[in-house]
Structure 1
């Protein structure tokens, strides 16, 4: 008889996310143990404690979920956990700090779907601008968009230095080019003149782009917004919008569409549920990061 599935949830923060706990339980994992204030240096010992406490055939009935708010740290923790394991003691690991990997993947997948509906084959060669890129979701959304072929600019409201380190870090790790810019009044208008896709990843309840800002975006095709708290991050985008037309900029050759937070969230929820369920029931140890989230998001978005 198989042992019950145990999910160890670690975070460098003072508490694990209640959202992630609920998601794990709803995916059929009824034993969830939180560990808080965990640093990368502690991951090896925690991983080996978890894997050695069960015989090899039941090691796969053990999982490690990595939270927090720092994407690079979560990826380092994932790497440390994988390096701590060896056959036949293998457990599953899933990194999703602040839900950023699954949210960013869902956002990009739904944008790709909107482009495909308009006859555009993905992000390749398109100018993609990420507003609110200082946050964990924005940085990962930019990274995924760059890996999908977009020409990505991380846009900060606190000066270029607030995103430069992130761009350089992801460039070193994944060999992508991420440009950086800030939202000074003149700079924002010049950026939007060339934007094909806008990803708004600002804080809840903060408007990052107004209708007046969008008047400069004559090439815009898709504007996606993860903010579900009024006011909208992008003025004119409703939380339930999934390809709803936005008012055209003067002289615009293309009609832009908006994608709201609930359209993105619907895919994000399904992605996280699917990956947790695969950990629990797959029968083999897995290791998931934003790339696995993106694979799942593309499949899920394509079926919606």
Structure 2
């Protein structure tokens, strides 16, 4: 009788995301068990309960998923889960808080493809500005883009304080540099957009952060992308289904939330599938998500 594929889903929130539960079950897990209100200190005990309850050769059929809405906490929980292993007792671990790892991976992969197709260049040395950088998707997008050699600016809608802290955390945790910028005024936004070759909107759903007025005179702009599918668009003039289409009032092309979401869906589903089909235990974070996203970006 074949062993069951079991996924234990940990979140520090009061509820596990139904999106992630559905995705895991559709990918083929036989059982998905949510654990809520999980603290960092709880992770070791939960993981070791999971690894010691099955023989070592069943570790590949057991997975830990880490959710929530805090990137830093999720990464700490991810590290704690890996450290809790006692070889040969090990299980697979996948972190994707609020879908941020897979969404950020999809956004950067789609932008990279658009740059290649429309401008004949990649991310390295490209000036990238991220609006909504204090959120989970913006944070991960900044890290992925910076690791690929982009010159990343993270924009604070409420001033510099929060984005300066995020820039410091990215530097300390990942060893890459990003530049904080004040986007609290229209003049500040316009200056940032005009200095950028790529602008990314990762702000809250239903919030327009970049208007056509901000885009006027953005002669360097090559690509704009937005993850917000709730009207109004995060970037005015960028259609939800844009996939390399021109952005109004610019010479740039746009990537809309539906094009990004299509890749994000495939990446999360694909990583769950890889957990199930692996011959040995695996661990997946945002970098693994980006590697897979590149395969799906068209």
- If the TM-score is normalised by the length of the shorter chain, which range does it land in? over 0.9
Q: Deviations over 1:82-125 (max 9, x none)?
A: 01103211100000000000000000000000011024331111
Aligned alpha-carbon RMSD (Å) = 1.0
Residue 118 of structure 1 aligns to a residue in which SS?
helix
| Corresponding position: 1:206 with 2:207 | yes
SS at match of 2:208: coil
Shift of 1:7: 0.4
Q: Equivalent residues in 2 for 1:217-236 (5 A)?
A: 217-236=218-237
1:172 match: 172
Paired with 1:99 and 1:161, the residues of 2 have a C-alpha distance of: 26
Q: What corresponds to 1:276 in structure 2? A: 272
Unaligned runs of 5+ in 1: 250-254
Aligned with 1:153: secondary structure?
A: strand
Secondary structure in structure 2 of the residue aligned to 1:102: helix
What CA distance in whole angstroms lies between the structure 1 residues aligned with 2:186 and 2:238? 21
CA contact (8 A) 2:238 2:248 kept: no
Question: Is the Cα–Cα contact under 8 Å of residues 119 and 222 in structure 2 kept in the other structure?
Answer: no
Superposed displacement of residue 248, structure 1: 4.2
Matched residue of 2:264: which SS?
A: helix
What is aligned with 1:252? none
1:36-55, Cα deviation, whole Å (9 max, x unpaired): 11111111111100000001
Q: Is the 8 A contact 2:212 2:249 kept in 1?
A: no
Q: Is the 8 A contact 1:2 1:58 kept in 2?
A: no
What is the distance in 2 between the residues matched to 1:135 and 1:216? 28
Aligned to 1:4: 4
Between the aligned partners of 1:70 and 1:172, the Cα distance in structure 2 is 17
Per the alignment, residue 121 of structure 1 pairs with: 121
1:299 counterpart = 2:259: no
Aligned residue in 1 for 2:240: 239
In the comparison of the two structures, how many residue pairs are matched? 297
- Equivalent position of 1:98 in the other structure: 98
Q: Which moved more, 1:119-128 or 1:152-161?
A: 119-128
Give the conservation status (yes or no) of the 8 Å contact 1:10–1:65.
Answer: yes
**TM-aligned CA distance change 1:78 to 1:219, over 3 Å:** same
Partners of 2:189 and 2:210 within 8 A in 1: no
Rounded to whole Å, the distance in 2 between the matches of 1:186 and 1:209 is: 12
Partner SS state of residue 81, structure 2: helix
**Secondary structure in structure 1 of the residue aligned to 2:237:** coil
Partner residue of 2:87? Answer: 87
Which residue is equivalent to 1:185?
Answer: 186
Q: Which runs of 4+ in 1 moved over 6 A?
A: none
